[in-house]
């Protein structure tokens, strides 16, 4: 799929004070993201707190994002659940709600039983039944299941499995997949923290949490790399290392939502059991955003 390239923000889900999805807040955020040359939007990803949303909320969220996003931009929706049957059902429902591509995590609760055969069967059944292309989602830090290169290469030959979003940061694996996968199979970096190295290893873009608050920097890394301006691409990559760490593996979703509030977007509180970022860490995050040039203020 030629359109599956570029930068995709995995958007957080804003909640109202009553704990429901904040539809006006999300609409405001989408209007801001639409100002940038993003390739699309990822909804129901890890940063979207998909595991905290029920089925009704998930489908409503996809419908809202689709309705507020230009038609030429892809909507990727997380549809991976713990059973093959439920993953197929949600993939079909997400398609009807407006998703262009299904982003599918591996099942992980019975991780010791997630053998190669089990995973191949799981993904093959979903892809066979899916009305839309499938993007594999490798997120071992959260799932404890790490899809290895040979498995991904095997799955790449299914006509509906079009790529992988890899959040492991294993660049050797990305390069191996890129060299052995079926023609046209797309690699997407799962973090801005290794976006430039991933591009050098064969990725065609990234699903980057940082693109929620600093889309221009993520886009510029891609543009500079494609233009052969490696010196500037490296400079931009270095610029975001600390702030990306803060809103991903450091303080996670509470920090990403706090960062959104700091730059004027609607972040809101995370849904329990996640806790909001403590005030002292918000103050530190503000300094990090200023240091990175993402937020104006005293350095």
- 165 flagged as catalytic: yes
- Tokens coding 46: 């890890």
Distance, CA of 228 to CA of 251 (rounded, Å): 34
Q: Backbone phi, then psi, for 18, in 5-degree steps?
A: -85, -5
Buried b or exposed e, range 183-222, using 16+ CB within 10 angstroms: eebbbbbbbbbbbbebbebbbbbbbbbbbbbbbebbbbbb
Nearest to 190 by CA among 138, 237, 256: 138
Say if residues 289 and 262 touch (Cβ distance below 8 Å). yes
Query: Which one from 58, 165, 173, 257 is the annotated catalytic residue?
Result: 165
Residues serving a catalytic function are 165
């Amino acid at each position: 799929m030629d359109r599956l390239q570029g930068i995709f923000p995995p958007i957080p889900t804003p909640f109202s004070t009553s704990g429901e999805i904040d539809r006006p807040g999300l609409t405001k955020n989408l209007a801001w993201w639409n100002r940038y040359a993003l390739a699309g939007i990822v909804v129901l990803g890890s940063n979207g707190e998909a595991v905290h949303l029920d089925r009704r909320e998930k489908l409503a969220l996809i419908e809202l994002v689709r309705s507020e996003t230009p038609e030429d931009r892809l909507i990727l929706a997380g549809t991976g659940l713990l059973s093959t049957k439920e993953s197929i059902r949600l993939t079909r429902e997400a398609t009807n709600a407006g998703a262009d591509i299904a982003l599918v995590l591996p099942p992980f609760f019975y991780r010791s039983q997630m053998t190669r055969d089990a995973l191949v069967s799981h993904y093959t059944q979903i892809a066979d039944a899916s009305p839309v292309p499938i993007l594999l989602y490798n997120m071992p830090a959260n799932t404890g299941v790490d899809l290895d290169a040979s498995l991904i290469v095997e799955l790449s030959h299914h006509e509906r499995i079009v790529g992988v979003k890899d959040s492991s940061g294993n660049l050797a694996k990305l390069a191996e997949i890129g060299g052995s996968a079926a023609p046209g199979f797309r690699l997407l970096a799962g973090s801005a923290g290794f976006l430039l190295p991933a591009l050098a290893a064969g990725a065609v873009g990234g699903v980057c949490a940082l693109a929620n608050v600093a889309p221009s920097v993520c886009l510029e890394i891609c543009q500079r790399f494609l233009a052969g301006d490696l010196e500037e691409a490296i400079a931009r990559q270095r610029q975001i290392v600390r702030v990306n760490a803060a809103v991903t593996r450091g303080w996670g979703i509470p920090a990403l939502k706090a960062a959104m509030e700091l730059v004027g977007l609607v972040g809101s509180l995370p849904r329990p059991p996640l806790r909001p970022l403590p005030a002292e860490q918000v103050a530190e995050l503000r300094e990090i955003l200023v240091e990175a040039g993402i937020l104006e203020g005293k350095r």
